[in-house]
Each structure stands twice: as C-alpha cells, then as structure tokens.
Amino acid sequence: MAEIGVGMLGYAFMGKAHSNAFRKVEYMAWPPPLVPRLVAIAGRNQEAVAAAAGRYGYERWTTDWHDIVTDERIGLFDNGGPNSLHAEPTIAAAEAGKHVLCEKPLGRTADESHEVWRRVAATGVKHLCGFNYRFVPAVRLARELIDEGALGEIRHFRGRYLQDWGDDPTLDTWRFDPDQAGSGALGDLGTHVIDLARYLVGEFSSVAGIVKTFVSGRRVDDAIEAAVEFESGAVGTIESTRLALGRRNAFQWEINGSRGSLYFDMERMNELQVFLDGEDRTRGFRTVLVTEANHPFMDFWWPPGHIVGWGDTFVHEVHHLLRSIADGSDVAPHGATFEDGYRASEVGEAIVRSSASGRREQLTFRSLT
C-alpha cells in the first residue's frame, strides 16, 4: 500500500493524540487510504522529544522544526505545537510541497490565521485545521440529520465548551501567555464552539459578546459569552470558559429546528439526544446511542453498543485527510480547511471587538485576494 511520511511538530497533548491516530488509522481503517510512516518529530526539549520519538515510533527526532520542512521523505506536516508556532512552520511546510494539518486555533489572531490560509492555499497542498469535534460520530450524524431536513428550519444554536482547570493561578502553561496563545478560553475552547456552529448551522452574520478575565494577573481571557445571529436567520449563544468547576470537558450544544431538536454533551460522546416532530412531546428527547453499524465511522470499530472515545475523533480526522490526499477529494465540507480556521478566528475576534465597544458586531470575511 502507498505510504506517506509524517512529520510532527509537538510531542505534548496534541502530539500524543495525533501520533496515536496515525498509528491506529493504519489497522483500524483497513485498508487505510495511505499508510502513515512516522518519519520525524520535532520539539523544543531534546530529552522530551527523544522520549516521544521512541514512545510513538518516529524514525528520528529533532529540536529544529526546519529539519522536518526540508526532509524530502515527509509528505504530510502535522503542527501540534503552541499557537505561536502554528503560522511559520505550517506555511514553510506547505511552500515546500507538504500537505498540512494544523491544530486549532489556526493563528493567534484573525490576521495571522488569514495569512496562513492565504499562503498555504496558494501552494495547492491539502490543508486541514484540527477541529476534531466535527469527527465525533454523533456530530456527523447530527449533520446528516440536518442536511436531510429532519430538523426543518434551524432557529436556535446554543453551544458551550466548559472546562475547570483554569482556576489555578500558579499553573505554568503557554495557554495563559498572550504571546504564545493569542487568547485564552476564546481560542482554546471558543473556536471549537464557533467552528461546530459553522459546521452544523452555517455562517455567522453578527455577534454581541462579553469577554472576561476573572483570575487576577491573568493576561488572557477566562471566559467568553456571546449572543449570535447566523446568515440563515437562526440565532443562538456561544460560551466558553476554563473556570466551570465540575465540568471536565463539557462541550455541549443544542439545536432547535421547526421539526425537531438535537442535544449533545462531549462528556457523553456516544449519545445524541433527539426529538423529532410527530414524537410524543410529553416524553421529550430520546437517547440515540451512536454505535450502530450504519452510524458514521462505526465501520472502523466494534459491534453496536461498544463505544468509542475522544482520541478516536483524531483517527477519523486523519483518515479524512489521508483519503483527501490519496484520491484528491476535498477536505471540505466535513473537514475544516484553513478557510474554516481563518473564519473561526474572525468570528472570535468580532466577539472581542463587541465586548470592547459594547455594540453588536456585523461579520465580514476576507477572501484570498
């Protein structure tokens, strides 16, 4: 089977999630579109990146990401580094002819995200931005139900991504450094909610938001709250915080349409709550366990009822990109392209502008020219 050499930037949380996916996709999505060969991994700390190379099975390691960009054996560059390291290496890899996967947020600002999209799109390589929650089976099922009209006209989207770890002021992480992260809960979690809303409902037309920092001395946002309108006329709310004590990884959303509603909670990722027209309203939502043979991605895995996990969303995501590279099919609409990465940053920045101005912000998106 055809192979593709993979170069990975980053060995921490996303380095682990992506390396696991590249190994697993070969034997779980059989036959894989391409066999990923783990050629090289780059990271700032020599001891840590060498250990990661041994642990995940990379042929070699380096503390200089330029070595990956110039390595002719690498056909796919995967950027799982801190946000401040997304733009330059990803652009360089694409301009060296490598297909690219870059974790979200694409850039620290809308300007930086647009520049990445513009420079990479000009090269013609395949590009995917790591909004992995599009690849939750329940989310893809929701998209299928919406596309076939089962919910009718969409009127509301309310989405929130809640975690609890941000309340430790002593925590030393790049995620709290504005130079390395760009923003706080907004870029880390809020962009996931924005992207999922774009994937399930459509494009944003305006936002009215509040951005808040609670932890004294912190230089990035701790929470965002926004009322939004979509081009379709649907309205909704977008929220994210890392101060929601009691919530570990609660990415929750609900969609209400004229013929039905869906509700999802990432902490119960194999279940989709469904209410469709004609059903007994006194009984409310019913729980669909999204593990049937005809449900999205289940051909990768197990018999009905044998659930999948958070890490498996990355297996679905890299499979999608490998197939797009192998057969030339589009990454969109089910994978987020770098245009999606840019647009998520633009919506996030409009929330920040609205919070500063106290006014509702209309969305305008820059093109490639």
Q: Which of residues 151-170 bind ligand SOE (CB under 6 A)?
A: 163
**Dihedral-angle region of residue 358 (phi above 0 means left; psi in -120 to 50 means alpha; beta otherwise):** left
As measured in angstroms, the least distance from the Cβ of 103 to ligand SOE is 7
3-state class (DSSP) for residue 209: strand
Which CB atom, from 222 or from 361, has the smaller least distance to ligand SOE? 222
As measured in angstroms, the least distance from the Cβ of 228 to ligand SOE is 20
Helix (H) or strand (E) holding 199: helix 191-200
3-state class (DSSP) for residue 111: helix
The residue with tokens 């938001």 is 209
As measured in angstroms, the least distance from the Cβ of 13 to ligand SOE is 6
189-228 footprint of ligand SOE as x/- string (CB under 6 A): x---------------------------------------
As measured in angstroms, the least distance from the Cβ of 163 to ligand SOE is 6
Which CB atom, from 71 or from 188, has the smaller least distance to ligand SOE? 188
Contact predicate 19/36, CB 8 Å: no
Burial class (CB in 10 A: 0-12, 13-18, 19+), 271: middle
How far apart are alpha carbons 113 and 348 in whole angstroms?
A: 12
As measured in angstroms, the least distance from the Cβ of 252 to ligand SOE is 14
Contact predicate 231/203, CB 8 Å: yes
Which CB atom, from 8 or from 208, has the smaller least distance to ligand SOE? 8
Which residue number has the CB closest to ligand SOE? 188
- How many residues sit in the footprint of ligand SOE (CB under 6 A)? 4
As measured in angstroms, the least distance from the Cβ of 111 to ligand SOE is 21
Considering only 1, 2, 13, 231, the residue that binds ligand SOE (CB under 6 A) is 13
How far apart are alpha carbons 87 and 89 in whole angstroms?
A: 6
Beta bridge partners of 150: none
How far apart are alpha carbons 281 and 342 in whole angstroms?
A: 40
Contact predicate 320/296, CB 8 Å: no
As measured in angstroms, the least distance from the Cβ of 106 to ligand SOE is 12
Q: Which of residues 252-281 bind ligand SOE (CB under 6 A)?
A: none
How far apart are alpha carbons 264 and 224 in whole angstroms?
A: 20
How far apart are alpha carbons 176 and 231 in whole angstroms?
A: 33
**Alpha carbon distance, N-terminus to C-terminus of the chain:** 39
Q: How far is CA 219 from CA 164, 178, 204, 211, in A?
A: 18, 6, 27, 12
As measured in angstroms, the least distance from the Cβ of 368 to ligand SOE is 26
How far apart are alpha carbons 183 and 207 in whole angstroms?
A: 18
Considering only 71, 188, 239, 349, the residue that binds ligand SOE (CB under 6 A) is 188
Q: Which of residues 28-57 bind ligand SOE (CB under 6 A)?
A: none
Which CB atom, from 188 or from 346, has the smaller least distance to ligand SOE? 188
Which CB atom, from 183 or from 256, has the smaller least distance to ligand SOE? 183
Does the footprint of ligand SOE cover residue 340 (CB under 6 A)?
no
As measured in angstroms, the least distance from the Cβ of 188 to ligand SOE is 5
Which CB atom, from 62 or from 163, has the smaller least distance to ligand SOE? 163
Query: Which stretches of the chain bind ligand SOE, using CB under 6 A?
Result: 13, 163, 188-189
